[in-house]
A and B are shown apart, each in its own frame.
Chain A
Amino acid sequence: MSAAVAVAVLVAGGVFLLLQRGLVRVTLGFVLLSNAANLVLVASGGMSRRVAPLIGTGPTEDMADPLPQAFVLTAIVISFGITVYLFSLARSGRDDDTEDDP
């Protein structure tokens, strides 16, 4: 339930920013949306077991699913790469972002 609400909050914020003018806001919206997607992935592994998947540090029975975590780890880094790219696009041209509001 809590994961669902967290995803809802992030998606709503992300979509709102995505629909604004200017690539900087769109980029920030993209950051929120990718966080939401990562939360969905983690939630897909189940939220009932929450012991870190480090073998030997706790009961294996209660460990969280490591596979979504591995997905999300690379997803975080890739969305970082894309975010940087979007930011560099945001200021490479002349558009709503480089123009000031009168």
Chain B
Amino acid sequence: MLHRRLGRDTGWVLAVGFLVLAAMFAATAPAVVHGEVIEAAWPWLPSIDASLRLRLDGLSLLFALVILGVGALVMAYCARYLGRGSHVWLYTLMTLFGLSMLLLVLADDVLLLFAAWELTTLCSFLLIGGTHARAAPAAMRALFTTALGGLALLAGLVLLSVHTGTTRLSAILSDPTAADGSAVTTTALVLVIAAAATKSAQLPFHFWLPDAMVAATPVSAYLHAAAMVKAGIYLLMRFSDAYGDDPLWSGTLIALGLVTAIVGAVLALKQHDLKALLAYSTISQLGLLVALTGVGTAVALAAAAVHVLAHALFKATLFMLVGIIDHQVGSRDIRELTGLRRVMPVTAALTGLSALSLAGIPPLLGYVSKEEMYKAFVESPGPGWAVAAGIAGVVAAAALTFAYGFRIFVGAFGGTTEQWRLREPSPAFLAPAAVAAAAGLVLGVAASSLSPLIEGAAVTASGHGTETHLKLWPGLSPELGMTLATFAIGAALFLGRDPVDRFLQRLRAPVEGRTAFDRSRDAAVSAGSRIAALTERGRPVRHLPVPLLALVAIAAAYAVTGADVSPPPESSRGADWILVAVLAVTVAAAVSRRSRLGAVVAVGLSGFTVAMWYLNAGAPDLAVTQALFEIMIVVVAVIVLRALPRRFHRVGRGRVAGSAALAVGVGVAAGAAVYQLTGHRDRSAVADYLLEHTKPETGGVNAVNAILVDFRALDTLGEITVLAAAALGVIALGDRTRPRSPRAGEPDTADTLLVLDALRRVLMPVFAVVSIFLLLRGHYGPGGGFIGGLVAGGALALARLAQPPTGEPALPPVERRLLSSGLIVAVGAGLSALAAAEPFLKPLHAALDVAGLHLSLSTSLVFDLGVYLIVLGVVAAALNRLAHHEVDLPERDRAVEPAR
């Protein structure tokens, strides 16, 4: 709504919102950085002791401020980057993205953490893929990779919470058994690393991040600088306290991080597209952060904290500026961008500033963080060779970073100006980038002001106190030497950029992550379809025999080995056997007829036999329902058969023999199971309860009806909903097929129709009255909504049969209205109980004495009316839709029809 008024300027409002949130967090800073913890909790899933538990400590505070601060800048940037028009979707997703990141860093419950983690994955997927069709594969890669990591995280967190017996994150991490070196915790540790590696684009999962460049620039800026990829870093820092002493943890992280940092930096140096360069640069910087977390000392974690901030600032700035340059120049190739300083001085200056921060030049914040990083590696614990390797690795990565940072810088400043027509963008467009770039400079110069915040984060992450004094001039120390070495190597790489570039362009990765990903995905998809093909054959005969044979085999195995159940007491009566005999004859007819009509009639007769069976078994409600149901089935089948050939196709002998053998086997197995498994116990306690309470509690007599509309009314509500859904399916199918003229040579003659029509006139009112009577007396005798509805449907069926087959609907199309009003009435009856402060669907009773008649009214009767309407609606849908839209068979099919 806001968006409709403001259009793209919504970004400003959202930016202010993010800033306000950030200010609220900043207000807590003085307390939080000194170790205070702010917590809030709402119960969520008490059965597994999970709650919406939030926790703000030093580490969360740092990340929250970065997320909100960069979020505000990016939102403000959106307001000018986006064209005029509607961007509701982008703004909504970006806001959701930021908030889910915030939830992620505040979550103090493993389930909440996982949910937030997946939310960021989903948001980034939608943001990457949302721009244009070309982005879809990249978005899919990002989704698959990070969702795979999400699954690893879930597994790891579940292992840990089962192991420690709590879902509370802070409790798990402070529990000494969480890192006791057992197989469970080691597995969990590896899973957490895997999750972080996918999210933070570490080797070999790095490929999704450069691909994600297809997203709009503000999305990239946010994703790279503050959201998404920083989630992995946060996770590692959060677990650092618990796992920091584990050599597997530190070794893996340092090696993984440094290799990623160097490979990422080499790949970044290779790029000419500015956006791709920045993407690989992000991978490299994240590698450094991972390695620092692996070192795990308080100094290292402080360095990581500073670098998170520094990276957020310069990366957000660079992305925003690249977006501006792309916007104004129409190119992102670094070789074409020369001499920008003469035409776009402000843009060039800002680009240069953040490029220098990236390269680690004093007095920018990037330099401060790099100094801290060096100090952490110099002071890292471990054997001498490991420390030396770490120092070498980090210097190499930093030197490469220096080289590509300078390429950006010189791209903006150096060279001759070729494009004189370029103009500086509007100040509003530049402002967010300017703020971030300036912050990088100011915070670099006044680095000491950051110390409390960084210290707070480092103390939380490392678990013990530390003194952090961020400063520009560290004095004569090993770090200074490392810095000088970095500058020297970096400058050499930069100056010799032509040979370096030629060398790099020849470099080819042995396996491209992207290709490997696509191949494994294709393999998974085709394996899936091969497995599905085993059961999806389009015809039941292709796959049904397997489970059916298995059923027979199980029954046979049981008969051979475990048949120690004594036969139940005989409960058959003489009349049963007559019915069984009739059933056998009708079923035999049903399977052997080749005439469709004959088969339908035989099935209908077997259904009537079943109805007699119910009557014989003491279930008059069922008998009536079954009989009506059979009438309906036959009517519907006859209507359907009009559109179809009269006879089934021939069936080969082999098929008859095979399916007959299987059918007999399954039949015998089912019969034996029923014989063995029923009739052993007395009437159930539930039955006794129901029989005893029907009268006093519902005022009714018919226990079956009382169960349907009273004791188990919620089940019935579910069932009529299913019924309504089936009817909607019929309606939808009917809508898809075209009307068709009836078959030539229709046997219905005018005379029979006349008789039927006369019958209809007499019977329809009778049917209607009877159906309502049955509905009303449901509580007292056989009847109720189901039966009443079927009887009313019988009236419709009669009307339908009496009508000449013109293809016109027999009735006005009321079925949708019947279905919806039925559901509304049923739900309304249930809700009326709420109004009387009773549970949903609890019937309310009232007795009425009208004209000497005692009527006991109950909302369960209203509920039954809903059932009645739905059943009627289903029947109406079946009759109307099936009869009205008959399939348009080609002329040929009808012509060859034998006129028997």
Per-residue CB contact flags for chain B residues 547-575 toward chain A (1 = under 8 Å, else 0) read 01000000000000000000001111100
CA distance A80 to B872 in the complex (A): 12
Whether B659 pairs with A88 at a CB distance below 8 angstroms is no
Say whether B678 contacts A43, CB under 8 Å.
Answer: yes
Residues of chain B lying within 8 A (CB to CB) of residue A28: 590, 599-600, 603
Check if B633 sits within 8 Å of A69, measured CB to CB.
Answer: no
Given contacts A2-B579, A16-B591, A50-B573, 8 further A-B contacts (CB under 8 A): A4-B678, A12-B668, A54-B703, A63-B618, A63-B703, A64-B617, A73-B704, A77-B871
CA distance A88 to B641 in the complex (A): 11
On whether A65 and B617 interact (CB within 8 A), knowing A7-B674, A19-B659, the answer reads no
CB nearest neighbor in A for B687 = A65
- Name the residue of chain A whose CB is nearest to the CB of B625: A76
Interface of chain B: mostly helix, strand, loop or mixed:
helix
Check B695 against A55 for contact (C-beta < 8 Å).
Answer: yes
Given contacts A9-B580, A91-B887, contact A21 B603 (CB under 8 A): no
Contacts of A26 on B, CB cut-off 8 Å? 540
10 intermolecular pairs with C-beta atoms under 8 Å apart: A6-B583, A21-B649, A22-B649, A45-B687, A53-B618, A55-B694, A73-B625, A92-B737, A99-B893, A100-B896
Among the 9-residue stretches B353-361, B483-491, B707-715, B765-773, the one with 4 or more Cβ atoms under 8 Å from chain A is: B707-715
By a CB distance below 8 angstroms, the chain A residues around B571 are 1, 46-48
Q: Which of A7, A20, A56, A88 has the most CB of B within 10 A?
A: A88
A6 and B613 within 8 A (CB): yes
B679 within 8 A of A: yes
Q: Inside 8 A of A80's CB, which chain B residues have their CB?
A: 629, 632-633, 874
B684's nearest neighbour on chain A, judged by CB, is A65
Q: Are A10 and B587 in contact (CB under 8 A)?
A: yes
Contact assessment for B703 and A9 in the assembled complex, using a CB-CB cutoff below 8 Å: no
Given A11-B671, A13-B587, A20-B659, are A88 and B722 also a contact pair (CB < 8 Å)? Answer: no
Interface residues of A in 78-102 (CB under 8 A from B): 78, 80-85, 87-92, 96-102
Q: Which chain A positions have C-beta within 8 A of B480?
A: none
Number of interface residues of A (CB under 8 A): 82
Please measure, in the bound complex, the distance between the C-alpha atom of A12 and the C-alpha atom of B669, giving whole angstroms. 10
Judge if B507 is at the interface, Cβ distance under 8 Å: no
Tell me, in angstroms, the Cα distance from A85 to B723 when the chains sit together: 10
Residues of B886-900 whose CB lies within 8 A of A: 886-887, 889, 893, 896-897
B residues within 8 A CB of A97?
644-645
Query: Is the beta-carbon distance between A69 and B730 smaller than 8 angstroms?
Result: no
Q: Mark A25-53, 1 if CB is under 8 A from B, else 0.
A: 11010011001101110111111111111
Which chain A residue lies CB-closest to B897?
Answer: A100
A48: min CB distance to chain B, Å: 4
**Distance A85 CA – B734 CA, assembled complex (angstroms):** 10
A24 to B887, CA, bound (A): 15
Which one of A11, A38, A48, A74 lies within 8 Å of B670 (CB-CB)? A11
How many angstroms from the CA of A89 to the CA of B584 in the assembled complex?
A: 29
In the complex, which residues 585-616 of chain B have their Cβ closer than 8 Å to any Cβ of chain A?
A: 587-588, 590-591, 596, 599-600, 603, 606-607, 610, 613-614, 616
Interface residues of B in 861-893 (CB under 8 A from A): 871, 874, 877-878, 881-882, 886-887, 889, 893
Do A49 and B683 contact each other (CB < 8 Å), given the known contacts A64-B619, A74-B715, A77-B719? yes
Q: Which residue of chain B has its CB nearest to the CB of A37?
A: B670
CB distance from B757 to the nearest CB of A (A): 25
With A12-B667, A76-B625 already in contact, the answer to whether A51 and B679 are too (CB < 8 A) is no
Q: Are A54 and B662 in contact (CB under 8 A)?
A: no
In the assembled complex, the Cα of A56 lies from the Cα of B667 at a distance in Å of 39
User: With A2-B580, A43-B679, A55-B703 as given contacts, are A35 and B618 in contact (CB-CB < 8 Å)?
Assistant: no
Considering only residues 634-666 of chain B, those with a C-beta below 8 Å from chain A are 636-637, 640-641, 643-645, 647-651, 655, 658-660, 662-664, 666
- Chain B residues within an 8 Å CB radius of A101: 645, 647-650
| Cβ–Cβ contact A45 & B607, under 8 A | no
- Given A19-B545, A19-B659, A101-B650: A44 in contact with B678 (beta carbons within 8 A): yes
Partner of B730, one of A7, A76, A88, A98: A88
| Bound CA span A53–B619, Å | 7
3 closest cross-chain pairs (CB), A and B: A8-B671, A12-B667, A2-B576
Does B5 interact with chain A (Cβ within 8 Å)? no
Give A49 to B703 CA distance when docked, in angstroms. 15
Residue of B nearest to A26 (CB): B540
Contact: A2 with B577, CB < 8 Å? yes
Say whether, besides A21-B649, A64-B617, A46 and B681 are in contact (CB < 8 Å). yes
Instruction: Fill in one digit per residue for B335-357: 1 if any A CB lies within 8 Å of its CB, else 0.
Output: 00000000000000000000000
B703 to A16, Cβ gap below 8 A?
no
Using A4-B672, A60-B691, A77-B629 as known contacts, say yes or no to A11 and B667 having CB atoms under 8 A apart: yes
- Please state if B588 and A66 are interface contacts (CB–CB under 8 Å): no
* Cα distance A101–B595 in the bound complex, in angstroms: 12
CB neighbours (8 Å) of B782 from chain A are 52, 54
Interface contact A38-B610, CB-CB below 8 Å:
yes
Residues on the A chain within 8 Å of B645, using CB: 97-101
Are the CB atoms of B647 and A70 closer together than 8 Å?
no
Is B781 an interface residue when CB atoms closer than 8 A count as contact? yes
Quick one: which of B573, B659, B704, B781 contacts A70, CB cutoff 8 A? B704
Contacts of A18 in B (CB 8 A): 540-541, 544
